[in-house]
Structure 1
Amino acid sequence: MTVAAPVVAKPIAVDGGLIDGISLPSRVDAWLGVPFAAPPVRDLRWKPPQPIQRWNGVFHADRFAPECLQPLRGSLQNHYFGNEAISEDCLYLNIWAPKATHKAPVIVWIYGGGFQIGSASMANYSGEPLAKAGVVRVNLAYRVGTLGFLAHPELTREGHGGSGNYGLMDQISALKWIRNNIANFGGDPNNVTIVGQSAGSMSVALLQMSAAAKGLFARAVGMSGSPFGGMLGPTPLATAEAQGLSLQKELGARSLADLRALPGDRITAAAMRRDPITIDGHVITGTAEQTFSKGQQNDVPILIGYTRDESFRPFGPLADRGALADQAKTRFGAKAGAILSAYADADAPRAAADIARDATVGRQMADWASYQQRFGTQPAFAYFFTRRQPYAPGIRFSDHDPETVGAYHSGDVPYWLRTRGSLNLFRLTRAWEPGDLSLEQEMSAALLSFARGGAPTSPTIGKWPKFDPQTPRLVWLAPTSRIMAWPHYRDMGLFDTASIATRPGDARPRD
């Protein structure tokens, strides 16, 4: 038998009516499953989020809402945090706030998952730990997969001259709700920091690019992903519309009306490949490079970085440097020799991991910092996460090899958010060590100070260095953190002639 948490005594007025929440033992109040838009179902499928309908009485925001329709996780996956209900009716957010707070900084989390999966309610994204430190924490939900990012000629004709990006519109709608309502929870609507990892980090960069998000946030934090670098940038509308028509054909639908009538699970199960983000002319009007070079970005301080062993295009198994040379020639052609000289580690797997990382996510983050420094007035700060989590003896996962994964993609998240305990929620997977606690304190302190004042500080580092392309430095995050030169910053120009090497205003020769 479970005992319900005590209800927060005084109902709060928000868009739509009155809500109450729950009081947690940590002396944090929580409002879970708060609606910020109308359910995007039936005729509202593939439409911008619509205003919520008013309700009578008090809405009990005492439990998480379903996650948006998507494939589910298996219990043996690394990041398994329990079964969640799923639904197309999923535009809700979760709020955690310390008691009796006033004008506290607001930190908004945007989940990742390749724009295909993700949940605002996963335990590793819990807002309770940072709310205990004095900020208001919000997790927002947005439509994912085909239901969140379909472009189609009929959608273009019925909308604003473009289509797609409905998930991004959900994010913007949630940020508008926060601007209008968060003061009632003790938050400062003029001090909102958006934070995301992977596709959530790409979302943060896209929101920085979008005029539709102007004035909705004061700072931005991106962890391991951006639309810079030419790899995962937004797709031209005509290409995205053609992909939408191919999906329609695969599903046997004759029209947009037929697509809207199909069960959602059939749509999410479709095999047709689509590029998620579209240059729709409304939310996204150009590439990241074009937007920033025109000074059209939302010019706010940014804190960005990546992990040592992540990549979006890893190499295959390698026995030695000769095997690496063969694969590099296949991937990079005439540039392979220069790349191999720059990444000269005698350990072939280490060199391969560094090359694969910097050709993808490393370049994405370096370009983001560089374009902000060149074309903005607000500073950029950068980090490089290197901690391999300490695994419990004998632990095995269906999607994750503790022996080889290293400092993996998203492995930094529980340190930033103080949610390391979530990885041991159902079985012991991590044998945390004192160094992990000190690293969590270092990273969460940097995030909290950045949210409070726009400049990260932390116990070991003190004030973090601003990014400077002449002497590019970042914070090496480990149990003993330090400031260091940005690894291979100038070498990343080898991976694409349109990347850092030829960035406007940076003509300094490469090291």
Structure 2
Amino acid sequence: MTFQGAKILRTPAISRLALAVATTLAVSNVQAQVVDPIEPIKTNSGLVAGQVLEPGVKAWLGIPFAKPPTQDLRWQPPQPISWDGTWNADRLGPECIQDLRPHNINHYFAEEPTSENCLYMNVWAPEDATATSKLPVVVFIYGGGGTVGSSGIDTYAGQEIAKKDAIFVNFNYRVGILGFMAHPELSAEQDGHSGNYAYLDQNAALKWINENIEQFGGDPERVVIMGQSAGARAVTEQIYSPLSAGLFSGAVMSSGCTWDIAGTSLEDGEKTGLEVQAALGVDSLEAMRYVPADKILAIQNETQLGVSRSGIRTSGVIDGYFMPKSQAEIQDAGEMNDVPIIAHFNRDEASTPFSAAKTVAEYEALASELYGENAEAFLATFPVASDDEVADQTTAIALANRHAKNAVGCAEIQSEVNESPAFISMFSRKHTFGGFDYADIDESTVGAYHTADIPFWFGTLEAFNKFHNGRNWSDDDRALSNDMMDSLIAFASTGNPATEAVAWELWSAENQMMMEFADGAELVSVNPKGIDWLAANPIPTAPAVPAPGRIEGVGPRD
């Protein structure tokens, strides 16, 4: 592969005769079976050749959607890319540079190549999809606290969605200091704004999808974006950004629907950028662009993946461009992108001081200690009559204190500002673990942990059994996953996730219900009484530790 100006030349597409020979390719963390050739597809960037992964599914893995953000393009908005010849999209692109995952944690599925040259996209489609198919499209944005994450993680693959007559897309975006740093010199060279490069990467990918997905069989008018954790925050940013208007028709936020946050000013972001420069020991932006990427990673704050490194943490900023003003100001002006939303969360991914209680006596003692004279009102709102009820009630408190509260908050803003509906859901099913002893979770006590829902949404349950006996899935697990996939595709198709098996209802102030995915799919109350009480009477002490089973490195500090 060579670069000539704005053009990329890659080895010409392999011959039809060679493609016709069934060959198993071990590429990165993907086993790709090339069964049949696929005629190159014409995109705005150039011709792209894909492959048949397995009967019924074809894929294009590792399509560049922007120029490599290296050299002078480090800390620049993503730039359009084009090439001569045919790009062979036959393997995943490298993940954006980050700390690597230990091999004995729950969400390790194989080592991935890592690079600054990482702006690549993956597309899965039904084998018979054509440019006239107009299929619904699901686009996934990974989480990882804004410092780690990759579209190449096996649980984020799209072949099972493609088998259900839909298109699935995911892509990489820059993370950490390389993805979020603002700086005065950057603002000077970029028309008064800087930072938010991760969100601009996502926006560039959505534009590429909008312009080209029809050629892969998708309908650009029916594109749902879905993000988990920091990815859910990214979906929120796209909902609030005018640059993403018209690029998607629906949005799903899993474990991170938090709207109306204050945000960081460009000025404060630039101060953090100056801290980065000082830590690198260089005297200019030009010199910062010459520093090896691993040196930048070394000064970055990280508390995930078993890493405990003090350092500098960057974040998105109100830059006057991608994010022109605060979320509150955008809401007040009625300028949010108006699309249907699903605000989703998992049952056991948050905790409060009450989570430590195991008996009624311990529970009531905590209530008295934390709420004093108000303890009686607290116990009337969250009553327990026996020790057996304590665990469920402490979980209800944690949900009303955070994730359910946040989901309802998003739905309330949606109903006030936009015309499109809001839906709320909760994943409660516990994984059935196999015999492998993970380093980062206690398999005997973990519940519906942070990210536990994702393999069910995408049908990627078997990813956990790639190297060892990670899960003992049942027919009921597979049935629930099938129903959740159908519901997600229905949402992409129509803006409503209801199906015959999942009788979803939209949330409203008069209908405070959510869909719970547990043994099946069932409508339950969001517990508005508990949410309102804790909003008026906040728990005095913040949780000291993550919820049991939280997987650090896959979820952010949201």
Q: Which residue of 2 aligns with 1:79?
A: 107
Following the alignment from structure 2 to structure 1, what is the Cα–Cα distance between the partners of residues 205 and 505? Answer: 32
| Residues 251-260 or 325-334, more deviating | 325-334
Confirm whether residue 242 of structure 1 aligns to residue 250 of structure 2.
Answer: no
Deviation for aligned residue 1:76: 0.8
Q: Show structure 1 runs of 5+ residues with no match.
A: 500-511
Q: Are the equivalent residues in 1 in contact too, given 2:487–2:502 (CA < 8 A)?
A: no
2:156 corresponds in structure 1 to 125
Q: Which amino acid aligns with 1:41?
A: T
1:277 aligns with 2:316: yes
- CA, structure 1 residues 229+18, in 2 after alignment: closer, same or farther (shift >3 Å)? closer
Aligned counterpart for 1:57 among listed residues 80, 85, 101 = 85
Residue 249 of structure 1, CA deviation: 2.3
Distance 1:87 1:336, change over 3 A: farther
Could you tell me whether the CA contact under 8 Å between 1:335 and 1:494 is conserved in 2? no
Aligned mates of 1:188, 1:320 — CA distance in 2:
54
1:383 deviates by 0.8
Give the Cα separation in 1 of the matches to 2:153 and 2:511.
Answer: 39
Aligned match of 2:443 in 380, 402, 410?
402
Q: Which amino acid aligns with 1:370?
A: E
- Identity %, equivalent residues: 38
Residue in structure 2 matched with residue 16 of structure 1 by the alignment:
45
- The structural deviation recorded for 1:335 is 8.0
| One-letter amino acid of the structure 1 residue matched with residue 430 of structure 2 | R
Q: Judge conservation of contact 2:242–2:322 (CA < 8 Å) in 1.
A: yes
Change (3 A) 1:256 1:337: farther
Q: CA deviation at 1:326?
A: 7.9
Residue 228 of structure 1: aligned partner: 259
Secondary structure, counterpart of 1:457 in structure 2: coil
Could you tell me how far apart the structure 1 residues matched to 2:195 and 2:372 are? 35
For residues 47-446 of structure 1, the aligned pairs below 5 Å read: 47-52=76-81, 54-101=82-129, 102-228=133-259, 230=261, 234-270=263-299, 271=301, 272-311=311-350, 317-318=356-357, 341-345=380-384, 348-392=390-434, 394-446=435-487
Per-residue deviation, 1:479: 1.7
Specify whether residues 342 and 257 from structure 1 end up closer, same or farther in structure 2 by C-alpha distance, changes over 3 A only.
farther
CA offsets 1:288-315 (integer angstroms, 9 cap, x no match): 3442343211001112211110128777
Against the structure 1 CA distance between its residues 31 and 142, is the aligned structure 2 distance closer, same or farther, given a 3 Å change threshold?
same
Q: Is the 8 A contact 1:338 1:494 kept in 2?
A: no
Q: What secondary structure, in the 3-state scheme, does the structure 1 residue paired with 2:34 have?
A: coil
Q: Which residue of 1 aligns with 2:511?
A: 471
Distance 1:322 1:156, change over 3 A: farther
Asked whether the 8 Å contact 1:77–1:397 carries over to 2, the reply is: yes
CA distance in structure 2 between the aligned counterparts of 1:328 and 1:280, rounded to whole angstroms: 43
Write the distance in 2 (CA, Å) between the matches of 1:36 and 1:459. 37
Between the two proteins, the alignment pairs up a number of residues equal to 493
Residue aligned with 2:455, SS: helix
**Cα distance, 1:285 vs structure 2:** 3.0
Q: Matches of 1:336 and 1:280 in 2, distance apart?
A: 45
**Alpha-carbon deviation of 1:15?**
2.6
Deviation at 1:199, TM superposition (A): 1.1
- The alignment partner of 2:492 has SS state of helix
> Whole-Å Cα distance in 1 between the matches of residues 519 and 67 of structure 2?
45
Going from structure 1 to structure 2, the CA distance change for 1:496 and 1:286 (only over 3 Å counts) comes to: farther
Q: Verify the 8 A CA contact 2:124 2:168 in the aligned structure 1.
A: yes
SS of alignment partner, residue 154 of structure 1? helix
**Pairwise CA distance, 1:205:** 1.4
Is this contact kept in 1: 2:257–2:344, CA < 8 A?
no
Deviation at 1:246, TM superposition (A): 2.2
- Return the offset for 1:337: 7.3
Number of the residue aligned with 1:30:
59
Native 8 Å contact 2:55 2:127 kept in 1: no
C-alpha distance 492-333 of structure 1, shift in aligned 2 (>3 A): farther
Q: Which amino acid aligns with 2:112?
A: E
| C-alpha deviation, 1:323, in angstroms | 6.0
